[in-house]
Structure formats: C-alpha cells, structure tokens
Structure 1
Amino acid sequence: MSSNDSQVNATPGLAWLLASPIGRLGREPYWLVLFLVWIVIGIAINMWFGSIDEDVSIENLTLQGFVESNPLFPVLFFVLQWVELALVIKRCQDIGITGFTALLIFVPGVNILVVLVLGFIPSQQMPNRFGPFPNSYYRRKS
C-alpha cells in the first residue's frame, strides 16, 4: 500500500478492538480481551446454572431451557462470539496470515487450540498488508 492511498491509524479505539476485524492486534491486548470475554461467559453460565431448579438433572438440560431462562443470553453469546472472531482475525493478520484462518474457531476441538496458539506466536515486526505494526491498521483517505 502506498502512502498516497492510505494513512495509518496508530491509535484505534475500543470499538475497533472489540468489533472490527480490520488491522493487526498484538498478543497483550489479545489475551486481555479474551480473558474478559471468558470471564463474562463464565458469569453468564454461572447465572444460568443458578436459575435452574435443583430438581432438574444435568442430563435434562436443553437449549430451549437455556434460552427461556434469560432471553438475553443468546444475544450475549452472539456478541461475545463476534468479539472473539474479530480478535482472532486481527491476530491472524498480525502474524501475516489471512483472516480466513480465523474460521477455524468454529471447528469443534480445533477452536481452543487455534485461540491458544495464536496468542503465543509473536507479531511480525515489519509492516504487512494489514497494518504497519501491531495494534494498528491502514485506512483510506477520505
């Protein structure tokens, strides 16, 4: 990308961090936000288990019962899944591979491995097509 076509956003905001799949993301913010996402998921699951009658056995729990326990849970999990996908896409781009690799987080069994491995691979120190350095992205001039 030439300097005439784009400029660098070296200080992207919180909305970029949580929602945008564009750019590069270093290991530290990746782990911090993933940790936050996992805490929110843990709290939601704990709330769900707390709302279940004591007479119901674990074998009798259903997805319908989960949705009926609190209609906001599915929305929360959809939003958290988007945040995790955006983080993984940016992390893939930071190490120089295509963001489509992030779709592996939807493959059961492979998903946890992909999330963990991406957190340990160092960032590319040189600019790549996704941004000049970690935690940045190119954007077109208006």
Structure 2
Amino acid sequence: MFCPKCGSQVNDGDLFCRKCGFKLIYPEGENVYTNSTPFMNTDEMQVQQKPVEIPASRSAPLPKKTIAQEKKSFVDKYFNADGRLNRQPYFIRLLILNVISIAPTLILYATGGPLLVESLNGVLTFFHIILFVLSILLMVGRLHDLNRSGWFSLLIFIPLINIIFFLILLFCRGTRGSNRFGPDPLELYL
C-alpha cells in the first residue's frame, strides 16, 4: 500500500504515513441513506465501500498544492494549538519568530536611525504582541507533546521559574507513544 500524499510505501494498519505524516484514510465507505428515513441514527445506516485510489509507484506525480492549501498548512503550523510539537520543530519555529521579531527593528534602525524607531514604536509594539501570541501557541503545542495542558504556558510570567520552564520545553523529550493530544510526532517519521 502507498501513501496517497507522498507515494511512499506504508504498512497495512498504519494510521499515518511514516514519511510525511499524512493521515491515511482506509476504504471504510460513505454513509448512504435516503430521504425517506431522515432521522436514522448511525447504527441503522447502510455503508457502501468504495476503493481508494493509490499511486501505482513511488514515482507517480503528486498533486500540486494550491495557494489556499499552502496558506492553510502555514496557518496550521503557527496559528493552531491543537496536536503535539516535538523539540526540533518547536526550536526552529521559535527561532524563526525571534528573527522576524528582531528584523524590522534592525532594518528601521539601520535606515532611519533611532528617531524613526521611536516614531514607529506603537506599530512595532503591536507587531511584537502578535509574535508573542504566536510563540504562546507554539508553546502550547510543545506542552501537549509533554502531555501537559496549555495553561502551563502561564509559567513564563513568573520570574526565574520561566527560565527553568523554557529549558524544559527545549530539552525534555515528549511523551513516548500516543497521549491525550495525539500520536507521537517522532513515530510518524520512523
């Protein structure tokens, strides 16, 4: 069996592709019911099975993503607190957010000097608040990997504890196997 997204071979019974993490959909069929029985519960519905199209080989062309799908994947990465986020993607995304946070100030300072930076201080503050919210969302995903509630992210507001908390987020391995927030992201790519 092959992954419909990347074309790599997957084992029967896998829920996710080990290469790209795509959730595999098995041919369980669609619920089919008629208008004559509008209030049927799911136990009474008849199920028909339809085959799932799978690429013939690994070299089969993959469907191209549209701009809307690319935007959705970007939004899912940075604006979504659901699921789990292991150490490496957390570190990389946090690093990107920090570079994005520092870059406008440096560019404004280099082109217009400190007076320009001070005159645009309100705009920069609003920009930094947005980036701070994004970093909190990343932190919630990382806490989910540690099988902790996102409310633990409030620990960053407590002096000295925030340093220890940040080190835990960077260096502690997440829960092995599935937890209440989803499957282990490291097992998806084995």
**Normalised-by-shorter TM-score class:** 0.5 to 0.7
> What is the aligned length?
116
2:141 is aligned, of 90, 114, 117, to 90
Q: Which residue of 2 aligns with 1:20?
A: 80
CA shift for structure 1 position 111: 3.1
TM-score by length of 1: 0.68
User: What is the identity, as a one-letter code, of the residue corresponding to 1:132?
Assistant: P
Counterparts of 1:116 and 1:47 in 2: how far apart (Å)? 30
Deviation per CA, 1:55-97: give whole Å up to 9, x if none: xxxxxxxxxx84x325431221111101100011110110111
1:36 is aligned, of 87, 93, 96, to 96
Counterparts of 1:80 and 1:112 in 2: how far apart (Å)? 19
Counterparts of 1:106 and 1:14 in 2: how far apart (Å)? 28
CA shift for structure 1 position 116: 2.9
Q: Which residue of 1 aligns with 2:132?
A: 81
Taking only aligned residues, the RMSD between alpha carbons, in angstroms, comes to 2.7
2:181 is aligned, of 126, 130, 140, to 130
Structure 1, unmatched stretches of 5+, are: 1-6, 54-64, 136-142
* Structure number, greater radius of gyration: 2
Counterparts of 2:174 and 2:137 in 1: how far apart (Å)? 17
- Normalized per residue, the structure richer in helix is 1
Tell me whether 1:52 sits opposite 2:114 in the alignment: yes
Q: Which residue of 1 aligns with 2:152?
A: 101
If asked which structure has higher relative contact order (CA below 8 Å, sep 6+), I would say: 1
